Structure 1
Amino acid sequence: MDKRNNYFNRLIKNMMIAVILILAVFLSIREASEAGKKADLSKAEELVKEGAGFGVSYIWRHQYPAAVWDEEKNGNETGKNEGSIGSAFFHFLMNQSPLFRFAGGGSKGDSAYEEADPSYQGYLESGKFYEEHSFLLYDGGEESGEDGSVNAGTKNAQGEQIPETSSGQETADTNDQNQGQDVNAGKNDSLTCAASNVWPIVGTTYRKEQLADYDFLMKHFYSIHTSTTAGRDLMKADHFLAEDFTLEGGNDKPQILIYHTHSQEEFADHGPDKPDATVVGIGTYLTRLLTDKGYNVIHDTSVYDLQNGKLDRNKAYTYALEGITGILQKNPSIEVILDIHRDGVNESLHMVNQVNGKPTAPIMFFNGVSQTPEGPIEYLPNPYREKNLAFSFQMQLDSAAYFPNLTRKIYIKGLRYNQHLRARSSLIEVGAQTNTYQEALNAMEPLAEVLDMVLKGN
């Protein structure tokens, strides 16, 4: 008797499986023929589930009528036909298939598959990161001024929006200024700006005690984009001040590389009568100024943001990395890398200040920290991140002391921006598209002086 029952049970089981397969094939063919060229895979999947579930339910109902749910009663209460034992049995069988779970048919979706393959979750997360952070591929440009402010979308250490002055440089309050050094006073060990025998101190200086205060540091020197964070563990002024950026090699070999990831950035008066009014033009002038000071400078004028004659900034940093890496391989003596840009702001905003008696476009030092609010970006390591931050910080301090109104706050954003190749790397925004070429050229003169101060270890 038991053998006979086992035989019938196996027979019923085999019949169920056969019916499932046959129904799946026929319903798939039916759906494909009705859809024609416009296939709807989601609908086909739904029909297979419903049809197969109904078929199994039908066999189950006739073989074991006492075990069938009261479908009519449940249908009146829920309005659904998914409560049958056959349907539940079908879904149980299908959920055992890894392929079905991978395709999204399981109730857990992606999380069910990740249990068997953790690398799949990594793939999903990296794709999500690229989708959410694609805007980080650009520099300070459009994001830093699209709403008419100088550093739009930035927050202070407390997560509050930071109001900006017309130059983007927030002035220290009166008490803070009184704690700093008086203008035209001599250099002393408690101050943090460079010593100069040529330029008098005419701006604001700071004491180490002030800069040791994290909140003071972030308020007066930095704008942090919402794509990243800059915590107390990273932003340490005493470490930044302790760095010595004196060049190690002589000028018999190349020392400084100037290039332009976005070479097509132009100024307001660019045109046929002034074709040089671009970031490449001001890079040429900065090259000349630094060469006159005795530095050996290479100016890379390669175009990295045009592809097939069309502007394409999506991969400009990738192309620039390939180009400047080749230059560094041929010239390993290079110790300083400067990527010169100009910002993009609201058309109604014209940033210009008097510096050394000349109308000057303000500059902005830009740091990428390879970090989002969720943590470090592991695939974009930068062994020189702290040194890059120190390099821009020292230039910012010297600018504030000797050339007030020259700089905006240092801008910090989430990606790397090719600042991982040398310890003295900086991305520098010079004015914006609303500045004239002459205003941008005027900024190169004090910039060359500040660079000279830091690179001579003053």
Structure 2
Amino acid sequence: MLILVTRFEFGEFFQNIKYETCFSMFQNISPALAAENPLYTETAAETIYKTQTESDLDYETILAQEAASENEAAVSEETVIEENEKSSKKDQPVTISKDKLKDFDYLLQKFYTVDKTTTIKSSQLNADSLLKKDCKLSQDNSKPQILIYHTHSLEGYKDSKSGDLSTTVVGVGDYLTKLLKEKYGYNVIHDRGTYDKDRDNAYSVAGPALEKILAKNPSIEVVIDLHRDGVNGNTKLVTETNGKKMAQVMFFNGLSRTTAVGDIDYLHNPYIADNLAFSFQLQLQATQQYPGFARKIYLKGYRYNMHYRPKSLLVEVGAQTNTLQEAKNAMEPLAEVLDSVLSGEN
């Protein structure tokens, strides 16, 4: 029997929870077969998508903290190669059928990876509902509209320089800020604070800092937590868009629910539906405009400080196997996609 030990955030405190679990649905199925045939449970009016992993890599079950578990969203090299091959027509926009999006199975397979630590309901991933959510900015740029920050500011790339935040994901945030301000005219605050000197407590450290910034700037409608993923050393998250090699990006959502314990009441997020709508509208726009640029949206348990604003976004920009320039290049299509959704032009 597998023993899982985890600590969850509870305000400024952490609660140690020890529990035993096993996934009975896999008792009579080999892991390989289970990965190829995701299981669904039909209830009265909705489908619950049980588990799927996009990789053969071990996700190390549920890690001790959100800060540790978030960075496990890695895909196999084979998957990345396959996705890059599909993006050979990268400069040719595609159109996704709205009728196909109504099919829950198609929606999941095309746009999502559901981590084995959580579950998702068809009522939460209804394409019509996701697309009907108004994700446009409601205020002009006379006051701050967008906040960019980094729970893990020390996440670097293969050519990053030790001790130089401008060469980590923070430098990528600098460029995204510049693009959103100068090219698209948004009023953006870029918080370059470091919260991950103790990585295990990064989310709990970042939370109070975010609260102060948002209290001082209540006009902020969009909160973007920019990260860099961690993958197998042979995995290359690289695509080419507009003639430039760039890192692939991945939108990430926390569902405040784990397979083992269900909904996590003390990690309540009143904006889960809004968060999901925001990431899906961005994903759909990116998929149609820049095929191969965005990996599938990753769904996992916990909250990841996405409860402060309806339009909260966690973005993984490439991985440690990318160069800093590849990561910066990725900010150009990302800024364009953000503008399309926030301006209502998508």
TM-score, with length taken from structure 2: 0.78
Distance in 1 (CA, whole Å) between partners of 2:339 and 2:262 is: 35
Distance in 2 (CA, whole Å) between partners of 1:229 and 1:348 is: 29
Residue of 80, 84, 89 corresponding to 1:165: 80
Residue correspondence of structure 1 range 119-138 to structure 2 within 5 A: 127-128=17-18, 133-138=62-67
User: Does the 8 Å contact 1:259/1:299 carry over to 2?
Assistant: yes
Aligned twin of 2:117: 227
Structure with higher Rg: it is 1
Residue of 200, 210, 215 corresponding to 2:105: 215
User: Does the 8 Å contact 2:102/2:127 carry over to 1?
Assistant: yes
Residue correspondence of structure 1 range 35-434 to structure 2 within 5 A: 127-128=17-18, 133-138=62-67, 142-145=71-74, 149=76, 164-166=79-81, 202-271=92-161, 276-292=166-182, 293-306=184-197, 312-373=198-259, 374-434=261-321
> How far off its partner does 1:232 sit?
1.1
Deviations 1:262-281 (A, max 9, x none): 00000111126976221000
Change (3 A) 1:139 1:399: farther
What CA RMSD, in Å, does the superposition of the two structures yield over aligned residues? 2.6
Aligned twin of 1:445: 332
Partner letter of residue 304 of structure 1? Y
> How far off its partner does 1:299 sit?
0.3
Which stretch shows the higher mean deviation, 126-135 or 430-439? 126-135
Distance in 2 (CA, whole Å) between partners of 1:320 and 1:439 is: 27
Q: Which has the higher contact order (CA 8 A, sep 6+)?
A: 2
Distance in 2 (CA, whole Å) between partners of 1:352 and 1:377 is: 35
> How far off its partner does 1:388 sit?
0.4
> How far off its partner does 1:203 sit?
3.0
Please state whether the residue corresponding to 1:138 is helix, strand or coil.
Answer: helix
Partner letter of residue 419 of structure 1? M
Partner letter of residue 169 of structure 2? V
Deviations 1:139-189 (A, max 9, x none): 6654223xx616xxxxxxxxxxxx7232757959xxxxxxxxxx9xxxxxx
Identity %: 48
User: Does the 8 Å contact 2:67/2:201 carry over to 1?
Assistant: no
Please state whether the residue corresponding to 1:314 is helix, strand or coil.
Answer: helix
Structure 2 gap ranges (5+):
1-14, 22-60
Change (3 A) 1:324 1:443: same
> How far off its partner does 1:136 sit?
4.9
Partner letter of residue 300 of structure 1? D
Larger proportion of strand: 2
Deviations 1:20-68 (A, max 9, x none): xxxxxxxxxxxxxxxxxxxxxxxxxxxxxxxxxxxxxxxxxxxxxxxxx
How many corresponding residue pairs?
A: 289
Larger proportion of helix: 1
Deviations 1:94-141 (A, max 9, x none): xxxxxxxxxxxxxxxxxxxxxxxxxxxxxxx96225998444513665
Distance in 2 (CA, whole Å) between partners of 1:140 and 1:402 is: 31
Distance in 2 (CA, whole Å) between partners of 1:431 and 1:385 is: 24
> How far off its partner does 1:329 sit?
0.4
Partner letter of residue 255 of structure 1? Q
User: Does the 8 Å contact 1:257/1:300 carry over to 2?
Assistant: yes
Change (3 A) 1:142 1:259: closer
Please state whether the residue corresponding to 1:428 is helix, strand or coil.
Answer: strand
Change (3 A) 1:273 1:358: farther
Change (3 A) 1:455 1:169: farther
Structure 1 gap ranges (5+):
1-124, 151-162, 173-182, 184-199, 307-311
TM-score, with length taken from structure 1: 0.59
Distance in 2 (CA, whole Å) between partners of 1:288 and 1:419 is: 23
User: Does the 8 Å contact 1:140/1:411 carry over to 2?
Assistant: no
Please state whether the residue corresponding to 2:326 is helix, strand or coil.
Answer: helix
Distance in 2 (CA, whole Å) between partners of 1:128 and 1:450 is: 42
Distance in 1 (CA, whole Å) between partners of 2:167 and 2:202 is: 21
Distance in 2 (CA, whole Å) between partners of 1:377 and 1:129 is: 14
Please state whether the residue corresponding to 1:339 is helix, strand or coil.
Answer: strand
Distance in 2 (CA, whole Å) between partners of 1:140 and 1:288 is: 30
User: Does the 8 Å contact 1:171/1:220 carry over to 2?
Assistant: no
